[in-house]
Amino acid sequence: MVPGVRLLILGKQGAGKGTQCVRVARHYVVPHISTGDMFRAAGRMGTEFGLRAREFMDAGELVPDEVVIGVVRERINQDDTANRGFILDGFPRTTEQAEALWDMLAPRGIDLAIDLELPTEQALRRLASRRVCQVCQTNYSTENRPKHDWTCDNCGGEVVQRDDDREEAIRRRLEIYEASTEPLIAWYLERDKLVTIDAMGNPDEVFARLVRAVDRRRGVHG
Ligand code: AP5
Ligand code: MG
C-alpha cells in the first residue's frame, strides 16, 4: 500500500467539511489544509494579502484563482505533505483550481475526492447556529457550546460567529457553490476519483462512513 493519504473534500457550505477534516487529519496523521482557515488567519494578522482576501470572503465571493492556487502550491510542496499526504478542505472550488491541482500532484495524484452531501435546508440550519474559535478555528454551535461562556475549550480563544455567516453572504456563497464548485463532482467522477458520503447524522456517524470509503479505496479491509 502507498504510504499516507491524499484526500480532498467537496461539499456545500455547512456540509461539515471542516468538522470532518479535523477528524480525518488526526486519524490518518496528515495535515489539514484549509484555504478558508489560511485566509482567515492572514486577515487577522492584518497583512495586505489577508485584508484583501477578507474583502472577498466577507462578501461571500471567491478569492481569485491565481492567488489561491499560489497559496496551495506553496503549502503542498512542504515536506510534511510530500511525505505523509494531506486532506484539502475548500480547495479546489473551480475547474481552473482542479486542473492546477491535478498538474501539481502528477503523476501520483490524489487518492480520493470526497463529496459530503447534505440538503441545503440542513446546511443553512448548521450555518445559522455555527460559532467558531477565532484563534484555533474549532467549531461550536449554539447547541454545542464551549464549557465556559464563549471561550474555546481547546485554546481559550474567543468563540464568535464568522463574518461570512450572515444571510446575504451565505446566499452568495451557496450560489457560487452551485455555479463553480458543484461541477467538480462530475469532474472527479469522470476521473474515477469520487466518493459521495451522506453528511446527515452526527459527526461521528459521518466520520465512520468517510473512513470506510477511504480505506476501501486504499485496499484496507476491516
Ligand atoms: P471556507 O472557510 O472553506 O468556508 P465554506 O466553503 O463556506 O464552508 P464552511 O466552512 O462554511 O462549511 P463546512 O463545510 O466547513 O462546515 P463546518 O464543518 O464548519 O471558505 C470561506 C471563504 O474563503 C470562501 O467563501 C472564499 O471567499 C474563500 N476561499 C476559501 N477557499 C477558496 C478557494 N479554493 N477559492 C477561492 N476562494 C476560497 O460545519 C458547519 C456547522 O455545522 C458547524 O457549526 C458544525 O459544528 C456543524 N456540524 C458539522 N457537522 C455536523 C453534523 N454531522 N451534525 C450536526 N452539526 C454538524
Ligand atoms: Mg469550513
How is residue 78 annotated by DSSP? S
For a mutational test of ligand 1's pocket, the pick from 8, 10, 12, 13, i.e. the residue with the most ligand atoms closer than 8 A to its C-beta, is 13
Which residue type does 60 have? G
Q: What CATH code is carried by the domain that includes residue 14?
A: 3.40.50.300
Note if 93 is an active site residue: yes
Q: What are 22's three cell numbers?
A: 479535523
pLDDT of residue 34: 97
Q: What are 131's three cell numbers?
A: 460559532
pLDDT band at 4 (very low <50, low <70, confident <90, very high): confident
Integer CA distances (angstroms), 74 to 19, 70, 137, in order: 24, 6, 22
Q: Is 57 in the pocket of ligand 1 (CB under 6 A)?
A: yes
Structural domain count of the chain: 1
pLDDT of residue 150: 96
Residue 146 belongs to some domain of the structure: yes
Q: What gap in Å lies between CA 23 and CA 17, rounded to an integer?
A: 10
> Is the link from the previous residue into 92 a cis peptide, with omega within 30 of 0?
yes
- The separation between the first and the last C-alpha atoms of the chain, rounded to the nearest angstrom, is 15
**pLDDT tens track for 109-158:** 999 999 999 999 999 999 999 999 999 989 999 999 999 999 999 999 99
Residue 69 belongs to some domain of the structure: no
Of 27, 14, 59, nearest to 214 by C-alpha is: 27
Length of the chain: 222
Give the DSSP per-residue string, 123-179.
HHHHHHHEEEETTT--EEESSS--SBTTB-TTT-PBEE--TT-SHHHHHHHHHHIII
Q: What gap in Å lies between CA 128 and CA 14, rounded to an integer?
A: 9
Ligand at shortest distance from the CA of 132: 1
Residue 53 belongs to some domain of the structure: no
pLDDT of residue 83: 86
Q: What are 192's three cell numbers?
A: 474515477
**pLDDT tens track for 32-77:** 999 999 999 999 999 999 999 999 999 999 999 999 999 999 999 9
Q: Which of 17, 23, 40, 126 is catalytic?
A: 17
Residue 78 belongs to some domain of the structure: no
Residue 58 belongs to some domain of the structure: no
Residue 38 belongs to some domain of the structure: no
pLDDT of residue 3: 61
**pLDDT tens track for 192-222:** 999 999 999 999 999 999 999 999 998 876 5
Residue 156 belongs to some domain of the structure: yes
Domain span at residue 138 reads 6-30+85-218
Q: Is 143 in the pocket of ligand 1 (CB under 6 A)?
A: no
Lowest mean pLDDT among 11-15, 93-97, 141-145, 204-208: 141-145
Which residue type does 57 have? M
